[in-house]
Structure 1
Amino acid sequence: MSALPPDLEERILLRTATSRDAGMASAVLERAHFVSQVCDDMGSLVDELLRGAGAIMLAEEVLVGPALAVLTGALAAQPPWSDVPVLVLARQGADSRAIANAMDEFANVTVIERPMRVAALVSAVRTALRSRRRQYELRNLLEGLRDADQRKTEFLATLAHELRNPLAPLGTALSLLQRKKPGPEEAGKYYELMNRQVEHMVRLVNDLMEVSRITRGKIELHLGPVLLDAVIDDAVELSRPLFERAGHALTVDLAGDPLVVRGDAVRLTQVFSNLMNNAAKYTPAGGRVTVSARQEGRQAVVSVSDTGTGLAPEMLKSIFEMFVQVSGTARDAQGGLGIGLTLVKSLVELQGGSVEAASEGLGRGATFTVRLPLAKSAAATGRRTRMSQDGWAPSIEGTVLVVDDNRDAADTLAELLTSMGATALVAYGGEEALQLAREHDIDIAVLDIGMPGMDGCELARQLRAGPRGADLKLIALTGWGQQGYRDRIAAAGFDHHLIKPLNLSEFMAVL
């Protein structure tokens, strides 16, 4: 039973012995600002009950024969959250058979003896309605939990689907490399395919971790004056491959004067890149996407419009909620968990802004508009957030110790370092790593954290305590990125903390 209009949810259904009694009771309730509905018989009362009621008020005289059975059946058929209060107006004097039956049959019953004081009647009705409102709160809570559970179920199904998608070509490419053993030129296309699929999986995991950090209040923002033009340029560069693959026309219309906002440049780039990616994914090939920025009062306003699948009116608010999927459009998108807009809303609001969606309906495109407060001083300068993908040195000198209990992870990283000119040593545990450190002059140690026995933090402390510990560069490479782990890693003496899977350009910048 969904929420009903207040005049239905809080009305008092009346069934009295005479029409004169009904008129008097209705007048008393009206003067006390209650909504009442007089019912001519028990059948019509039950019909009205199905439409909605705050309480039922009955005369003792009507609780006889088939009428009692009809009401008892209707009350027994209520949904689990509902327990409609029943007020019985009893005749003065000794307890009657009808009152005894009512007390036995109805769980939530109050007996008021006639003649009654108006104040007593009004007080009883108010108490009954307070009880009924608590039931409505429970109903809304249960419906919210049911909806959330449904969304979570759909989300997990989507997550499984999206993770299987890249795993299938990865497995096929590995099988082809093993069976065909192609030369370097032919193998290159398989390596590129595998790299694309791994990057896709990394984006999925990163989105999940971002949502987790935001919902737990663990995200850190580095706020300062940000040139919005530079942020939008960076976001366009990040999203450009999607536009090119789909053959979309992209138009960027920036304000004539520079717009400076107070925010986190990296996070704002993430916001606008997510919006552009969504526009590209949900727009059929050969579509058009427009990004515009303008000033309205003391706000910078950025809109991302597309000619894509659009949104139904009922989705305009819920589209930003966790686990919400747009029915019928998921198959049109080229991968994704449907949590990008949740990230967008959270990140924008953390920076004092707002975001809204608009659409003329399904198949008629959509516009997402972000509003951000302008910085007080417009003299600030922007800074590009994009990292060059080919700005790392072609070779590494020195000896690097790689420690990870996952042998495949340790061996492949060591092989990568060797291909770049480094002398790579591999250990699969803390004690083995300490032995290698005693036997070799190590310049850099790349340590996993979550290892059995001696974990990476304890190993780092012991390496730091060694004869060359002061000159040793320690890098944590781990799947744990939460703040608690970051604090623990920093306290152990690490110079850098990198998150798995390895981002090559970031790793090379550290080296």
Structure 2
Amino acid sequence: MTESTNQHPRILYFANRPIAQTGLQSFVDELRDEFDLVEVQVHASQDSRKFLEAFDAEITSRLKEAACDIIALDLCAFDSRWVSKIILGIADRHRSIPLLTVIPDRLHAATALDAGAVEYVACDNISHSVLRHAFYSAIARNSIGESSRLVESEVRRLIDENIDGMLVVNETGKVLFANRSAEMLLGRSHEELVGSDFGSPSADEDSCEVNIVRERGTEFETLTVEIRYSEIEWAGETAYLETLRDVTDYRQDLDDAVESTRQRDQFLSTLSHELRNPLATMSYASELLKRRMSGLDEQLTFTIETIGRQVQHMKRLLDDLLDISRVWQGKIKLETSPFDMIELLQDITRELDPRFEQKSQTLTVELPATTAPVDGDKSRLRQVFSNLLSNAAKYTPNEGSIHVSAEVAAGTILVQVRDNGDGIADDNLQSIFDPFVQLKHRTHTKESGLGIGLAVVKKLTELHGGSIVASSDGPGRGSTFRLTFPLLDPSQPLEESVAPKPRARRNDYSETVLVVEDLDALRYVTRCNVESLGYDVIEASDGEEALHQIERREPRIAIVDIGLPKLDGWEVAKRVRRSRPPEELFLIALTGYGQKHHLLQSRQSGFDVHLTKPINLEELGRVLDEAAALQTANGEDG
């Protein structure tokens, strides 16, 4: 490696063009008088592994030209997962070079520093002077003690001008040097600090946070200060450079963000329950009407079918909203098993074919005549491809075309969903995977979404060890989504696909079902639907009445809502189970509460099945038939 002949510090920087129009790129020209800034141009691939490989190759090539003092990365356009992956990868590959990052905001600071950055600048607080001081701070940390690079007077100047507080302490914790920023931060003069005992760093840590009480006139204030340690040589002796940064506002912002997240999650949980009840009422009413459509005129038939379609659309929007909440919380858990991806794709395209027929669109499917064994959550991957195909149908005009293909090679399966619809502008190809991003589309559609489906698709794909990339020749020229997943060993046994049997109306069990629901309209339509399935029904509108009906009428199946007055559904189940085991009374929770912890609580309370509103009538019929058959068998055994 040859040394740089430029007298200015040499910085390799990545500005994420053309996405980043602010951040590091906007200050480059202003800083060229003090720094030799060399841009590292790498395509911002959505595959972090490929991005890091390309970035590493470019940096290695630049380092062969001349040494550099720091590497600067503008990561303002990336989410926290990318920030961590990129910093970890670059810091691991080039450990001898300090890494400075420009991050979206101070809430990403912990992620950046933990991953290996020595310095950061928040994009929401960036300026010419802040960036300049950050560069010098990173250079100072790498240069202290290296007499071949900088003389001690220059080191002192770099420390003294740094925007962060900086102390040099010896091994016993005695302060040898303090810069002006440290004096201001600690509220003490240079004379008071030098020679004082500041404490020696812990041998097990390279950073810590402490609360410092600072005197301001007649008042005192408590600051949270982050201290980072670096071992250096000072005046021929071992010493430590301690960098002090006031993170009081950052910690408060973090606490506020945590509380905001808690409130958001609570709101979404409540929203889910409150919306699912009216949604269930409409769904069951439309199901009831559909079962009695025979003989109705064309206008009424169309109206009933429209209600059913719109209810399903609302249900999908609600499911997307809850899924993005789980993505934010990192609570999406996969229930994996080996299965054939080709078979799954065949099933999905068959199921969705009627949707394309409605718009006279042509769906072509090109799948290899082989198996593609993957270890995945079949329902979640069904959600991924259903979302992509539904989007293709939505944003492709009438009589347009959609093409689905798959290729199996080198231990992976590549699935492509291509259409000749609206297309995507270049500067939106990455942002479409961000939550709540909605693009303007040429195709008129009344089925607008929330802009969160693709964010969920990307997360689910990555959780399966896969990747997804979007491409387009531009607006009006269609788009292609390419998804890659790792394959299992072909010898791995696969899950057998069993198609659900259509339910036939059953009248041979003669079972009475207790329906417990506090909303009158929902209770009524639930009763009507259960009766249409061939069962007798009794009702209760609250938890206490439910227990009374169970004691007096002794039903062997009960459908119980959770959010009941007087006693909630979980308490009803607990009290029932004290005297009646599942062999005597089969308990079905039918509720708007559908998160994992709700399912667990239902199981612990004594419910045999937990169903989330609104449930398809066919599915409810199957559950009731299985319960009735089980109760009949138990009665015969008894």
TM range (shorter): 0.5 to 0.7
Query: Is 1:3 aligned with 2:10?
Result: no
- Superposed CA RMSD in Å reads 4.0
**Secondary structure in structure 2 of the residue aligned to 1:191:** helix
Aligned partner of 2:351 in structure 1 is 238
Q: Secondary structure at the match of 2:514?
A: strand
If each structure's helix is expressed as a fraction of its own residues, which one has the higher value? 1
Q: What's the CA shift for 1:246? A: 1.2
Structure-1 residue corresponding to 2:57:
none
* Structure with the higher fraction of residues in strand conformation: 2
The 1:364–1:84 alpha-carbon spacing in structure 2 relative to 1, beyond 3 Å, is same
Q: 2:368 aligns with which of 235, 245, 255?
A: 255
Q: Report how far residue 406 of structure 1 moved.
A: 1.2
Look up the match of 2:440.
Answer: 327
Task: For 1:260 and 1:414, locate their aligned partners in 2 and report how far apart those are by CA, in whole Å.
Answer: 44
Shift of 1:408: 1.3
Q: Does 1:122 align with 2:167?
A: no
The count of residues paired between Structure 1 and Structure 2 equals 391
Task: Tell me which of 392, 395, 399 is aligned to 1:279.
Answer: 392
Q: Percent identity?
A: 37
The 2-side partners of 1:2 and 1:303 are apart by 34
1:204 is the counterpart of 2:317: yes
8 Å contact from structure 1 (residues 259, 378) kept in 2 = no
* Structure 1 contact 397–423 (Cα < 8 Å) conserved: yes
Q: Which has the higher contact order (CA 8 A, sep 6+)?
A: 1
Deviation at 1:472, TM superposition (A): 0.7
**Deviation at residue 315 of structure 1 after TM alignment:** 1.0
Kindly state the Cα deviation for residue 393 of structure 1 after the two structures are TM-superposed.
Answer: 3.3
Counterpart pick for 2:607 among 494, 499, 510: 494
- 2:515–2:540 contact (8 Å) kept in structure 1: yes
AA of the residue aligned to 2:390: N
Q: 1:365 to 1:83 in 2, by over 3 A?
A: closer
Equivalent residue for 1:84?
A: 129
Counterpart selection for 2:296 from 168, 171, 185: 185
TM-score by length of 2: 0.55
* Match among 551, 554, 567 for residue 454 of structure 1: 567
1:216-275 Cα distance to aligned partner (Å, 9 max, x none): 233332212211111101211232222111111111111232211121222212111111
- Distance, in Å, in 1 between the alignment partners of 2:358 and 2:294 is 28
Residues 404 and 428 of structure 1 are in contact (CA less than 8 Å); yes or no, is this contact kept in structure 2? yes
Q: Which residue of 2 aligns with 1:391?
A: 503
Distance 1:431 1:117, change over 3 A: closer
- Which of the numbers 406, 414, 420 marks the counterpart of 2:533? 420
Q: Deviations over 1:151-186 (max 9, x none)?
A: x9xxx9xx9xxx9xx99xx8xx99xx9xxxx99513
Which among 453, 456, 464 is matched to residue 577 of structure 2? Answer: 464
Structure 1: state its 5+ residue gaps.
15-30, 35-53, 55-78, 88-115, 146-151
Structure-1 separation of matches of 2:358 and 2:165: 60
Alignment partners' CA distance in 2, 1:315 and 1:386: 39
Cα distance in 2 for residues equivalent to 1:337 and 1:329: 17
User: Aligned partners of 2:448, 2:513: CA distance in 1, in Å?
Assistant: 37
- How many angstroms does 1:394 deviate by? 4.6
Match of 1:444 in 2: 557
Q: Secondary structure at the match of 2:426?
A: coil
Contact 1:228 1:260 in 2 (8 A): yes
Amino acid at match of 1:457: W
Larger Rg: 1
Whichever residue aligns with residue 503 of structure 2, its letter is G
Q: What TM-score, normalized to structure 1?
A: 0.67
Contact (CA 8 Å) 1:444, 1:472: kept in 2 or not? Answer: yes
The equivalences for 1:77-116 within 5 A come to: 82=127, 84=129
Q: Check whether the contact 1:230–1:382 (CA below 8 A) recurs between aligned residues.
A: no
CA pair 299-264 structure 1, distance change in 2 beyond 3 A: same
Q: Give, in whole Å, the separation in 1 of the partners of 2:498 and 2:424.
A: 32
| Alignment map for 1:19-418 (pairs within 5 Å) | 82=127, 84=129, 117-127=153-163, 185-186=296-297, 187-329=300-442, 331-332=444-445, 334-381=447-494, 383-384=496-497, 387=500, 390-395=502-507, 397-418=510-531
Deviation at 1:13, TM superposition (A): 7.3
For 2:350 and 2:320, locate their aligned partners in 1 and report how far apart those are by CA, in whole Å: 19
User: Using the alignment, how far apart are the partners of 1:418 and 1:86 within structure 2?
Assistant: 71
Opposite residue 296 of structure 1, the aligned amino acid is A
